[in-house]
Amino acid sequence: MTTLWLVRHGPTHAKAMIGWTDLPADLSDAGAIARLRAALPDAPIVSSDLIRAVTTADALQAQTRLPHDTALREINFGVWDGLTFPQAEAKDPDLLRAYWETPGDIAPPDGESWNAMRARADAAIDRYIALEHANLIVVAHFGVILTQVQRALGVTSYEAFGHKISNLSVTQIKATPTGWTAPMINHIA
């Protein structure tokens, strides 16, 4: 059995759709970082290769740091990346609405669908589970964490979107031989 401790990176304060844009995290709240670290086990840590996840993982000071993983990146919003919702809606109103209301195979121009991101994230998580760590800390993004909530709860992508995943929150997923559970979603330490 592996327990995944999925941590969403620190806030970027961006008011736009940020996927692969490499914005830094604001990690100035030392108290929040200390509480988060105290809530996590002493376990290996892996992160997305985007700077907001890398620096958050580094701030958690794990003894074992695994290499950054591009497969743990946020969803690729393509041409919408960096745009506010109204800006993206002005470009592609029908496509944007369908993308959020029926997440699955619909992708933004030059971007990635929910199903494509989920397949990428699932494959990465499966690789880490195969390493047979009892606990593993994964510092990633809203979308990646939601894919694993969806997987553990056996819900649709639309239902998964109903879960809030705050910056610096912990979501705990357990992968056992008999199935997946999500005993903790969006815990703020």
pLDDT of residue 187: 97
Q: What is the mean pLDDT of residues 137-153?
A: 97
CA 77/CA 108 separation, integer angstroms: 6
Domains and CATH numbers, the chain: 2-187 (3.40.50.1240)
The CA-based dihedral angle spanning residues 59, 69, 148, 118, taken in that order and rounded to the nearest 10 degrees: 140
User: What percent of the chain clears pLDDT 90, i.e. is strictly above it?
Assistant: 94
The string of DSSP codes covering 147-167 is HHHHHHHT--HHHHTTS---T
Q: What is the mean pLDDT of residues 150-173?
A: 96
| Active site amino acids | 9, 74
CA 176/CA 2 separation, integer angstroms: 7
- Contact (Cβ atoms closer than 8 angstroms) between residue 96 and residue 17: no
How much of the chain is helix, strand and coil, in % rounded to 5? Answer: 40, 20, 45
Q: What is the mean pLDDT of residues 128-152?
A: 96
**69-123 pLDDT per residue, tens:** 999 999 999 999 999 999 999 999 999 999 999 999 999 999 999 999 999 999 9
- Contact (Cβ atoms closer than 8 angstroms) between residue 26 and residue 167: no
Query: Rounded mean pLDDT of the chain?
Result: 96
Of the candidates 2, 21, 29, 4, the residue with the CA atom closest to the CA atom of residue 147: 4
CA 167/CA 97 separation, integer angstroms: 25
**49-81 pLDDT per residue, tens:** 999 999 999 999 878 999 999 999 999 999 999
